[in-house]
Structure 1
Amino acid sequence: MEASSISNKLFEQLNFRGEKQKVISSNIANINTPAYKTKDLIFEDELNNNLDSTLKMKLTSSKHMSSLGTNLSNTNPKLVDVKGLEEQNDGNNVNLDTQMSEMSKNKILFDAIQSSIKRDSKLFRSVIESSAKN
């Protein structure tokens, strides 16, 4: 059972952030591996690519925007090599400062999503509890 219609999307993003953390950790672990190329997990680009083709909103007023909607079923993250980074003599292009920054950003987003899920669940629980009293 979902607490709200957005719950699935929040859980998808939470799973994505967990997987992204693994990719960042792998990059840091391979900082001294010759010829290792920095990897990234891309979700937002896939979402943006699908905005025009799959997301449609019902227009009930001439003032509504027409380019948004709700169908996000084809937005799987992709693991890609990051291009254009400066390489060391051994061919490795992992930058520790960049990866640590990405890890912090990912942690903040993970915590925000987790907080949203908790808030959504509390709201759902309070609705159930108040309806049970009647």
Structure 2
Amino acid sequence: MKLFSNTITTLENAINYSNQKQKVIAQNIANVDTPNYKAKTVTFKDSLSSAMNANVTNNKHIPFSATNNASTAVVTKNGVTYNNSGNSVDMEKEMTDLATNQIYYNALIDRISGKFSSLENVIRGGK
């Protein structure tokens, strides 16, 4: 949805990332007792930083390009084991990630709600 700027699209991509991260965290927590289960994580910052630095033409420019192809990847953490069953889920880390993601999601929802409220105000003529 592109109304007036890329802000709504950017917020939508961030909400989709947060949603995917929530699913992966829930999957990790659900499999905490599954033997040989390897925890997963969602990566977004690597693809974001590579997209932001892709079109830098001058060192003095702010390295940002507005793209709609924000991508995330679910990565399995191999080679890490936290207990004798071969499971690599760290419950303390998962619960911390869950709380962090919830705060992030709430902030995004608050921001997109404010954006739509501003648009509604403009449509009504400031009344």
* Native 8 Å contact 1:37 1:92 kept in 2: yes
After TM superposition, give the deviation of residue 12 of structure 1 in Å.
1.0
Aligned residue for 1:94, secondary structure, equals coil
Q: CA deviation at 1:105?
A: 0.2
1:35 aligns with 2:12: no
Query: Deviations 1:22-70 (Å, cap 9, x if unpaired)?
Result: 100000000011111110011111101222214x58x8xxxx9414233
Distance of 2:117 and 2:103 partners within structure 1: 21
More displaced, 41-50 or 82-91?
82-91
Residue 16 of structure 1: CA displacement? 1.1
Q: Larger Cα Rg: Structure 1 or Structure 2?
A: 1
**1:75 alignment partner in structure 2:** 70
- The within-5 A match list for 1:1-134 is 2=2, 4-5=4-5, 6-54=7-55, 56=56, 65-82=60-77, 85-130=80-125
Distance 1:123 1:2, change over 3 A: farther
Deviation, structure 1 residue 73: 3.3
Which structure 2 segments of 5+ residues have no match?
A: none
TM (norm. structure 2) is 0.86
For 1:85 and 1:105, the matched residues in 2 are separated by: 22
SS of the counterpart of 2:67? coil
Q: TM-score, normalised by structure 1?
A: 0.82
User: Alignment length, in residue pairs?
Assistant: 126
Question: Whose RCO is larger (CA < 8 A, sep 6+)?
Answer: 1
Q: Secondary structure at the match of 1:79?
A: strand
Q: CA deviation at 1:100?
A: 0.5
Deviates more, 1:10-19 or 1:113-122: 10-19
Equivalent position SS for 2:125: helix
Give the CA deviation at 1:74.
Answer: 3.6
Uncovered stretches (5+) of structure 1, i.e. residues with no partner: none
| Greater Cα shift, 40-49 or 23-32 | 40-49
Q: By how many angstroms is 1:120 displaced?
A: 0.4
Structure 1 runs (4+) deviating above 6 angstroms are none
